[in-house]
Structure 1
Amino acid sequence: MQIEPLSMTHVTESRASEHTPAIFDATIPVVDMNDFFNPETRGKFVAELAQALREVGFFAVVNTGVDVAALDNAYDAARAFFALDIAEKQKIQCPHFNGQRGYVPGESAKDEKRGDFKEFLHIGRPVSSEESARMGIYPNVWPDNFELEEPMKALFQALERHMVPIQEAMAEALGEASGFFCDMTKEGDVLLRAIHYPANPPSDSIWAAQHTDIDLFTILPRATARGLQVLNDAGEWIDVVVPDNAFIINGGDMLENITNGEFRSSVHRVVDCGGNTERYSMVLFVHPRADDDLTPLPQCIARTGGVQKYAQATRWDLLEERLVDLGLASPEMIQHLGASGLMERLLDVDRASVKAMKVLRAHGVASDRVLQRLAEIE
């Protein structure tokens, strides 16, 4: 799977103001993509990225050269799709894909009882059926007689280019070869999510409850309205408004796992901003291949106290537990999780999802150890 590399040419095509960093709250770390491509400042970029991931798990990137036209076209297509009757949208709802492709009417955050007040659409890499089978990823599903595929594919490819410099900098910060994460994700199940947050959520609901993302990291370009908040290192919820030519990077749970917590997974949420306003956003979730080993790296264990604090696990292991927790997993996936041994490894490091354990129990596939742990906490 070839990804068109981002270059200095792409970055400088779009001329955002040099004052872009001032848009962000002072507690949000900001890195400049121009620094990555300049040999004299690349080390500065890597150091700033690493500090942000160690301290808060997120940062803003400015001077990205992100394709604004592709973003706007995708938003226009998403608005039109989400405005369809529910019966039309449900034609591309695919429960057997575990919420990983097509239309998803909602989910709830990890260990959260309330459902998020949103609907979304998942798009994977635009690959052939042969590549889909070889890479072990689900095929995309598109509505009939509705122009959605081309705008979404164009945005996917526009955002995908930005994965490479971020991954190279992360790898270098950890003492790995620059291609360490790129090798994992070049055929990984990277997902573009188009999200619609309807106006005026009920008083007992929220657009998206406090959560972390399950992936390696997430790219968030400009949304159509306010609402995104990140938890800073002082424990404060900070509003984030992303301008053109910039995006936010959130570290994910898989990155936290492989770094033994050296790099943090960003805690964030989306709150209704009032005024009878709906919100649309586009989010790129960066995933490795299903069988990539995300067990903590030895050097990360050494730098975080010498004790392994996170489980031995693959990307598929960690995703499977999260999908069960979110209520998106098929019965077959639930059964597989119960027999995989992952929950026991997560219990070893006190990181097993209570909600996922309860689902396993409800389906009669919880192990004795899982049942014992549930009995202890209930």
Structure 2
Amino acid sequence: MVNEQASLPIIDVSPLLDLNSHRDNQQETATEIHQACRSWGFFYVKNHGVPLKLQEELIKFSRKFFARPLEEKMQIDMNKGGRAWRGYFPVGNELTSGKPDGKEGIYFGTEINDINHPKVRNNTPLHGRNQFPSGKSDDDEFRQVILTYMTAMESLGRAIMSALARSLKLDPNFFDKNYFGEEPTCLFRIFNYPASFCQQQGNENLWGVGEHTDYGMLTLLLQDDIGGLQVKTSRNEWIQAPPVPNTFVCNIGDMLDRMTGGYYRSTPHRVRNLSTTRDRLSFPFFLDPNWDAEVLPIPMKGMTNINDDAEHRWDKSSVHTFHGTYGEYLLKKVSRVFPDLAQEQTINK
């Protein structure tokens, strides 16, 4: 059952990006983010500074890529990406709760060309070079659009996390100093939800992505104009999160839930393509802690008890029992989504 009346808040984040903005305006924005995180775990951001033309080019090039024959897309198959875990995967190769998703996609991460980079030299998972589409006349332009977009999203994400720190009555640079540093874990996905998937007879899972929470810290999502994202409220109702022109959908992930002791909750959501004639595109960008950062509870005044809701979570798994680095945590999560690839990487250690 979907509640068609409720809607997520839309927050103007321009005060966070203007160096001359008054502190009161920045604090007001931080308060709005705080309220959204407490009530929904989701919100839209507008006046975010990411050029509309860049967004439109990303959608245009992505649509052209997914229209290619499968054999062309498989030229950048994820299995060719090694431990960097970058590249293309076809429909059904990604799992949610053990069920194949109705989407295909390309995985990207921070581009590291330096073979002497410590993480590359040590063959650290999720570090290295990306696999970009190639062979077409405009693929070089597509590559530049992707890298430019990722840079813009990292900058926006840091600004939002700074406001989030304010909302928790922390130093605005708390996350930059303690978790991101110079090399946060930045992951970017381009997903395509084929209209044909929903038309398959006998398909038990018509969801492009079933109910889940994001396992990182902050997600920034660009949607095309089709829609299909749904968010689960604290009342166990589903609400639509439709596309709003020139905005991004933001949501907090399991890591922030853990770090705040459940004060900010990661919220379940799911996706299906609402169109039977057009493929749906989405572009989630994940801003997460540095690979080597130890995940620790945030020092929050008045917070003494961890609100562990494992029994009521979609996966019945506690986000509060993990101890270690973000990299260790992320590897465990990835193994659930790509079990074959994770097994291959374990064998090749």
TM-score scaled to structure 1, two decimals? 0.74
Residue deviations 1:52-100 (CA, integer Å, cap 9, x gap): 2223211111222321111111111111211222222112113364683
* Alpha-carbon distance between aligned partners in 1 of 2:34 and 2:321, rounded to the nearest angstrom: 20
Residue deviations 1:254-290 (CA, integer Å, cap 9, x gap): 1112222121112111123143231011111112211
Give the equivalent residue in structure 2 for 1:168: 162
Give the equivalent residue in structure 1 for 2:314: none
How far off is 1:130 after superposition? 4.7
Q: Does residue 69 in structure 1 map to residue 53 in structure 2?
A: yes
Report 1:154-165 matches (<5 A). 154-165=148-159
Of residues 75, 89, 107 in structure 2, which corresponds to 1:104?
89
Residue deviations 1:181-221 (CA, integer Å, cap 9, x gap): 22433412201211110003233122111111111110012
More strand by share: 2
SS at match of 1:190: strand
* Alpha-carbon distance between aligned partners in 2 of 1:131 and 1:48, rounded to the nearest angstrom: 43
Moved more, 94-103 or 72-81: 94-103
Identify if the C-alpha distance between structure 1 residues 312 and 175 changes in structure 2 by more than 3 Å, giving closer, same or farther.
farther
Instruction: Say if 1:296 and 1:310, in contact at 8 Å, map to a contact too.
Output: no
Identify if the C-alpha distance between structure 1 residues 307 and 125 changes in structure 2 by more than 3 Å, giving closer, same or farther.
closer
Of residues 83, 90, 95 in structure 1, which corresponds to 2:67?
83
* Alpha-carbon distance between aligned partners in 1 of 2:66 and 2:132, rounded to the nearest angstrom: 13
Instruction: Say if 2:253 and 2:267, in contact at 8 Å, map to a contact too.
Output: yes
* Alpha-carbon distance between aligned partners in 1 of 2:328 and 2:119, rounded to the nearest angstrom: 19
Give the equivalent residue in structure 1 for 2:343: 331
Amino acid across the alignment from 1:51:
Q
Give the equivalent residue in structure 1 for 2:293: 292
In structure 1, runs of 5+ residues without a counterpart are 1-23, 338-378
SS at match of 2:210: strand
Identify if the C-alpha distance between structure 1 residues 307 and 214 changes in structure 2 by more than 3 Å, giving closer, same or farther.
closer
In the comparison of the two structures, how many residue pairs are matched?
311
Instruction: Say if 1:198 and 1:279, in contact at 8 Å, map to a contact too.
Output: yes
Of residues 47, 51, 56 in structure 1, which corresponds to 2:31?
47
Give the equivalent residue in structure 2 for 1:340: none
Amino acid across the alignment from 1:88:
E
* Alpha-carbon distance between aligned partners in 2 of 1:194 and 1:142, rounded to the nearest angstrom: 12
Identify if the C-alpha distance between structure 1 residues 47 and 318 changes in structure 2 by more than 3 Å, giving closer, same or farther.
same
SS at match of 1:44: helix
Instruction: Say if 1:101 and 1:140, in contact at 8 Å, map to a contact too.
Output: yes
Identify if the C-alpha distance between structure 1 residues 76 and 293 changes in structure 2 by more than 3 Å, giving closer, same or farther.
same
Instruction: Say if 2:226 and 2:275, in contact at 8 Å, map to a contact too.
Output: no
SS at match of 1:162: helix
Give the equivalent residue in structure 1 for 2:102: 117
TM-score scaled to structure 2, two decimals? 0.80
Give the equivalent residue in structure 2 for 1:15: none
How far off is 1:306 after superposition? 5.8
Give the equivalent residue in structure 2 for 1:12: none
Q: Does residue 32 in structure 1 map to residue 22 in structure 2?
A: no
- Identity, in percent, stands at 27
* Alpha-carbon distance between aligned partners in 1 of 2:71 and 2:288, rounded to the nearest angstrom: 31
Moved more, 51-60 or 131-140: 131-140
SS at match of 1:167: helix
In structure 2, runs of 5+ residues without a counterpart are 309-319
* Alpha-carbon distance between aligned partners in 2 of 1:319 and 1:336, rounded to the nearest angstrom: 18
* Alpha-carbon distance between aligned partners in 1 of 2:116 and 2:22, rounded to the nearest angstrom: 35
SS at match of 1:262: coil
Instruction: Say if 1:68 and 1:244, in contact at 8 Å, map to a contact too.
Output: no
* Alpha-carbon distance between aligned partners in 2 of 1:98 and 1:270, rounded to the nearest angstrom: 28
Give the equivalent residue in structure 2 for 1:92: 76
SS at match of 1:141: coil
Instruction: Say if 2:84 and 2:128, in contact at 8 Å, map to a contact too.
Output: no
Report 1:284-363 matches (<5 A). 284-299=285-300, 303=303, 305=305, 309-328=320-339, 329-331=341-343, 333-334=345-346
SS at match of 2:151: helix
Q: Does residue 246 in structure 1 map to residue 247 in structure 2?
A: yes
SS at match of 1:261: coil
Runs of 4+ off more than 6 Å: none
